Structure 1
């Protein structure tokens, strides 16, 4: 199911057919530098199954990001339920294959996710959780309109910067 379309991207539900492409992205240590580790094929498959349950439970989640120019799966972006400092939050998340970095595509995907959350889901606050050393992702958050709020420890035992936006 297509969720959103931008000038360069199609955002749609991830399916099990996407596991191979996502597993390649998750296996890349450069892409996964600011995550606890790379992921195996099986870990990727389990995560995709989890995304599918999010669609059923929440009506949203992380979506396949398809580059229109070459009709290629280039990553995943969308909305992630999170708990930050004991409070329920909704995160805008984005992760693209490194061949698609520095083209404005993460910003485009994040803006589409932001607009979907505000306009379709009625949220009034969104966050992004970004590793404190991940300057490129922090720049994306700023371009999307989020501002730095605080540093916080999250569930995977990592200090992150919390960026937030209010509608």
Structure 2
């Protein structure tokens, strides 16, 4: 099911047919540099099943990211339920295959995810980003998130970037 589109991307629900494509991305140590470790195909399948539970419980989750120009699966992005310092939050998350970095695609995806989250009724969205992940921090700032604080999530230091839904008179 297509969730939303941008000029260059289709964001759709993940399926078990996406396991191999996502596992290839999760197996790349360059892509996974700021994550605890790479993931196997079996771990990727478990991750996708967790995402299915998010679709069911929250009505959102991470989505397959398809590059329209070549119809390739290039990553996963979307909305992720998070608990940060005791507070329930919704995160804008994005991860693309390294061949697609530096083209503005993560910014394009994050912008669409932000707008989708606000349209769903979220009043605030965050991104949790490793302190050394400057590229992801730049994406967050380009779509309007600002640095809020440093915290620890699952024993890992992260920077919290946040944006509140705009209010109009």
Q: Same fold (TM over 0.5)?
A: yes
> Which whole-Å deviations, capped at 9, do the CAs of 1:93-146 have from their partners, x for residues lacking one?
000000000000000011111000001x10110000000000000000000100
Alignment-derived partner of residue 161 in structure 1: 159
- 1:117 matched to which residue of 2? 117
Unaligned ranges ≥5, structure 1:
none
Please tell me whether residue 148 in structure 1 is matched to residue 147 in structure 2.
yes
Provide TM-score, normalisation by structure 2: 0.97
1:128 aligned residue: 127
**1:22-101 aligned within 5 A:** 22-101=22-101
SS across alignment from 2:121: coil
Distance 2:45 2:91 in 1: 22
- CA RMSD in angstroms comes to 0.4
How far off its partner does 1:53 sit? 1.3
CA distance in 1, matches of 2:85, 2:131: 17
Gaps of 5+ in 2: none
Number of corresponding residues? 165
Q: Which runs of 4+ in 1 moved over 3 A?
A: none
Give per-residue Cα distances to partners, 1:30-57, cap 9 Å, x unaligned: 0000000000110000000111111111
Instruction: Note the C-alpha offset of 1:166.
Output: 0.5
SS at match of 1:132: coil
Q: CA deviation at 1:11?
A: 0.1
Aligned-partner Cα distance in 1 for 2:121–2:56:
18
Would you say 1:6 and 2:16 are equivalent positions? no
TM-score in terms of structure 1 length: 0.98
In structure 1, how many angstroms separate the alpha carbons of the residues matched to 2:13 and 2:40?
A: 21
